[in-house]
């Protein structure tokens, strides 16, 4: 929390690091905390490595365990939870992080045989795009065919508006990833296994992150 407060422009956190705030007081009275923070300072930013990274890793592993259990009633062992990245929102947007994690929405099907055309098959429900690409070295253009397999936006859960929200998405190559957005200041991605079940019913409503809801939707 100290690191987040020191780099954040969020009004509440600026207050906490200013004279009299909780972070100001913590740094003043805790020599070990001051030493740890000072050792990681790099200009106007902080390098999250070494002991500091160990602290961040424990916090995000515990957070992921709690959120995953709340969604799927399954307790993940720490060994199956991996903190994959931490980013400053001054440098990386949530959309940029998500685009690096999620599979491409376009699948090249140029060399694949077309399946049998059925009413509910993907040929009838997902858009197909045909493009021509010109080689930089000249010659005839190359025609490629792409299938749009994803066109839905990411669904964020605002747990504490302005302070804590998360999204859970499928990862390129398999598995899932939680994206945590803290105080509109810090982003973290945490890799987990893909949930095997639909998830519980929560307070009379379907779990918005159920296995059922996480399936690729059909295009309208």
Domain ranges of the chain: 1-47, 48-105+152-220, 107-148
* Overall average pLDDT of the 175-194 stretch: 95
The pLDDT, as a whole number, for residue 197 is 56
Does residue 15 register a pLDDT over 70?
A: yes
The yes-or-no verdict on residue 81 having pLDDT over 60 is yes
Q: Where are the alpha helices (DSSP H) in the chain?
A: 2-7, 11-17, 22-29, 31-40, 50-72, 94-101, 122-125
Q: Which residues of 186-216 are buried (b: 16+ CB within 10 A; e: fewer)?
A: bbbbbbbeebeeebeeeeeeebebbeeebee
Is a pLDDT exceeding 80 seen at residue 211?
Answer: no
Predicted local confidence at residue 125, as pLDDT: 73
Mean pLDDT, rounded, for 118-132: 77
39-43, 130-134, 180-184: which has the minimum mean pLDDT?
Answer: 130-134
pLDDT at 4 over 90: yes
Most confident region among 24-38, 118-132, 192-206 by mean pLDDT: 24-38
The pLDDT score that the predictor gives to residue 208 is: 60
Is pLDDT of 209 > 70?
no
Please report, for residues 175, 182, 220, the alpha-carbon distance to residue 171 in angstroms, rounded to integers and kept in the order given. 5, 21, 24
Of 8, 186, 176, which is closest to residue 93 (Cα–Cα)? 186
Task: Please report which confidence band the pLDDT of residue 104 belongs to, taking 50, 70 and 90 as the band edges.
Answer: confident
Residue 28's pLDDT band, with cuts at 50, 70 and 90, is very high
Residue 219 has pLDDT above 90, yes or no: no
Higher pLDDT, 189 or 147: 189
**Token couple for 137:** 């070295």
């Amino acid at each position: 929390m100290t690191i987040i407060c020191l780099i954040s422009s969020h009004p509440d956190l600026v207050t906490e690091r200013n004279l009299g705030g909780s972070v100001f007081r913590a740094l003043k009275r805790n020599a070990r905390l001051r030493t740890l923070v000072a050792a990681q300072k790099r200009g106007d930013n902080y390098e999250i490595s070494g002991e500091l990274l160990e602290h961040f890793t424990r916090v995000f592993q515990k957070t992921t365990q709690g959120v995953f259990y709340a969604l799927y009633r399954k307790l993940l062992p720490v060994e199956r939870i991996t903190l994959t990245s931490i980013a400053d929102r001054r440098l990386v947007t949530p959309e940029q992080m998500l685009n690096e994690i999620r599979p491409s929405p376009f699948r090249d099907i140029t060399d694949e045989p077309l399946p049998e055309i059925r009413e509910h098959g993907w040929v009838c429900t997902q858009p197909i795009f045909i493009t021509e690409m010109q080689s930089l070295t000249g010659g005839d253009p190359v025609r490629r065919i792409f299938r749009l397999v994803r066109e839905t936006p990411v669904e964020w859960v605002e747990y504490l508006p302005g302070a804590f929200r998360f999204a859970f998405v499928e990862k390129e190559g398999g598995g899932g990833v939680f994206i945590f957005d803290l105080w509109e200041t810090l982003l973290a991605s945490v890799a987990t296994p893909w949930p095997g079940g639909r998830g519980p019913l929560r307070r009379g409503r379907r779990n918005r992150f159920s296995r059922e809801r996480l399936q690729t939707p059909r295009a309208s």
